[in-house]
A and B are shown apart, each in its own frame.
Chain A
Amino acid sequence: MRYYRCELHTHTTLSDGKMTPEELVERAKECGYDAIALTDHNTTAGVERAVKAGEKAGLTVLRGIEWTTFWGHLTVIGGSSDVLWRDITPENVAEKIKRAREKGDIVALAHPRRMGYPVCSGCHCDYDIESVAGVNNYEVWSHYYPNEGVAARQQREQWYSLLDRGLRIAAVYGYDWHNRDDIPPSYAYTYVGAENADADALMRGIKSGATFITVGVSVDCKAVVGEKEYVTGSVLPTGEADIEIICNPIKDYRSDKPTRLIRAELHTDKGVVSTPLEFGKKVKIKTAFAKYCTVEVYGERKREEQLLAITSAFYTGGER
C-alpha cells in the first residue's frame, strides 16, 4: 500500500467552476495529483468527459456529484447512487446518505461550518448533525487557508465530537476547486492509502479510512499491536498500541512550505499525548484508547506554529 494524492472535491463549467472537465484534468495532472473526484453541483453532466480526459492523461477520475441542498452540501463519490438532490430534505437526509452508501458510493459532509446564507447559501450545514452522522467522510479542512480560521477550528471540533461518540468518519480535505489557481493561495491535500491508483482501489482506500490531510508534509504512520501493523481506519484488537510516525516535506507542495516540525500529538477518547518530531525521523508513541486515536502533526509554517496534518483514526471496540 502507498498513499496517493487525491482531490475529492472539484467543479467544472458544467456547474459554477471555471475550468472545463478537460482543463481540470490537465491542471490536476500538472499539480501532481494521482486522482480527483469530479463533484459538480447537482449534476454529473461533466463526469464522462473528465473520466475520458483522465484516461488519456493518466489521472484517475472518480465519478461524483455534490448534493448542493438548501441545508448543506454533501459530496457523493462513486457514481452509483440514484438519489435526486431535489428530493433531499432535513427529514430524509439520513435515509438518502444511507441509500447512496448502500449503492456503493462514498458520502462526505462538505465544508460544514463555512458561512452559509447570504454569503454562500447552503454551504453551512444546517442539518441536525445526528441526521448527517452516517457519512463516510468529514471535510475537516476546506478550500483556501484550510488549517486557519474559525471554520477550520469548528470543523475539527465537530469531527472529534463525532469520533467521541463512537462514529467512524474519515478526515478529508475539500479543495472545492473552482478556479485554475495558477498562484494558489494556501490549500491542502488529501492522501489516500491504496494498493494502486485505480478508481476501485482508491474507493476501497477511502472507505477503509486510510486517509490523512496535510498542508505540506507526508505522514507515514501505523499502529503496531504485537507483531501486527495497522493503517489508519483499521479496527485494532486492543487500544493498547505503539504508534509509529515518520513525516517528510512534500517537495512539490505549491504554497507556503512548513519549515520544521515541532511535535506529533495522538488525540484519543482518553486524552492527548505528545512527542517531539523532526523531518525524516521515526518516532514511536505508546497509546491506550477505548474508541479512536488520530495523529496530528504540528510544525512551523508562515513563521508560526500550525497544525500541519491530521490523520483519520485508528479504532478499537464496537462501532456505535
Chain B
Amino acid sequence: MQTVLEGQYEITRKNQSTHVRIPFRVPEKAEKMHISVSYDPKYNFDEEYGLALIEESMLKQAGEPLMSKGEMRACLPVDNHLSFSIDSPDGAVGTAHRGDNRQNFTISADDAQGGFYPCEIKSGDWTFIVSVTCIVTDTITVSLKIEVE
C-alpha cells in the first residue's frame, strides 16, 4: 500500500457552490485505490444563527413563508454538505453524494462503491473534487487520504 495523497484542506464560505479540485498522481502498477475522506464540523449548533439563516433564505427563495417556525426549528441544526468526485486520466469516475461526513471507498477495475464506477487505476494525473453544496460554518476542514496498491 502506498499513500499518494494525504492532507487537510480548508473550505471557506467563499467556496459555496464551487468545485475545489485537489490533484494527485498515481504511480505505475496500481490496481486498487482506497479513499478515506472526512470533514468537520458537520453541524452548526448555533440555533439562533440557524433559524435566522433559514428564515432569510426562505423569504429570498419563496417570497413568502414556506415553513412555520416549528417546521424551521425541525430543520436544526443546519449542516454542511460536501459531495466528492474523482477524475482519472480518462475522465469522471463518479460522484459520492450523501450526508455522511466520513466516507471510505475502494475503487478497482472490477468493483467500486458509494457512487463511483469500477475503473482501472491507471498511472498519471488524477483529481479529487470537493463540491461545496452547503457551508454554514466559517470553515470546514476536509481530511483526505488516498492510497493505492
A14 contacts chain B at the CB level, 8 A cutoff: yes
The reply on A166 being an interface residue by CB < 8 A is no
Q: Which of B17, B19, B62, B95 contacts A43 (CB 8 A)?
A: B95
Within the complex, the shortest CB–CB distance from B46 to chain A, in Å, comes to: 12
- Where chain A touches its partner, the secondary structure class is loop
Docked-complex contact B133 and A122, CB < 8 angstroms:
yes
Is the Cβ of A41 less than 8 Å from the Cβ of B58? no
Shortest beta-carbon distance, A186 to chain B, in Å? 15
**Residue B112 at the A interface, CB < 8 A?**
yes
Say yes or no: B54 contacts A86, CB within 8 Å.
no
Minimum C-beta distance from B95 to chain A (A): 4
B134-A14 in contact (CB<8A): no
Are B64 and A71 within 8 A (Cβ)? no
Indicate whether B67 reaches chain A with its CB closer than 8 angstroms. Answer: yes
- Contact indicator A43/B97 (Cβ below 8 Å): yes
Q: Which of B19, B64, B116, B133 makes the CB contact (< 8 A) with A121? A: B133
Q: Is B140 an interface residue (CB 8 A)?
A: no
Task: Please tell me which one of the listed residues A14, A86, A149, A151 contacts residue B115 in the complex, with CB atoms under 8 A apart.
Answer: A14
Residues of B within 8 A of A124 (CB): 61-62
Assuming A15-B97, A15-B98, is B115 touching A113 (CB within 8 A)?
no
Checking B64, B66, B115, B136 against A42 with a beta-carbon cut-off of 8 angstroms, the contacting residue is: B115
**Contacts of B45-68 to chain A: CB distance below 8 A:** 50, 53-54, 57-58, 61-62, 64-67
Whether, in the assembled complex, A115 has its beta carbon less than 8 Å from a beta carbon of chain B, the answer is: yes
State whether the Cβ of B83 lies closer than 8 Å to any Cβ in chain A: yes
Chain A residues with Cβ below 8 Å from B17 are 70-71
> Contact between B97 and A86 (Cβ–Cβ < 8 Å)?
no
For residue A71, which residues in chain B have a CB less than 8 angstroms away from its CB? Answer: 17
Residue in chain B with minimal CB distance to A125: B61
CB-CB under 8 A for A118 and B115, given A16-B99, A84-B92, A150-B62: no
- A residues engaging B (CB < 8 A)? 14-16, 40-43, 45, 68, 70-71, 84-86, 113, 115-119, 121-122, 124, 126, 149-151, 154
6 contacts between A and B (CB under 8 A): A15-B98, A16-B99, A45-B114, A68-B97, A86-B85, A113-B61
Interface residues of B (CB under 8 A from A): 16-17, 19, 50, 53-54, 57-58, 61-62, 64-67, 75, 78-79, 81, 83, 85, 92, 94-99, 112, 114-117, 129, 131, 133-134, 136
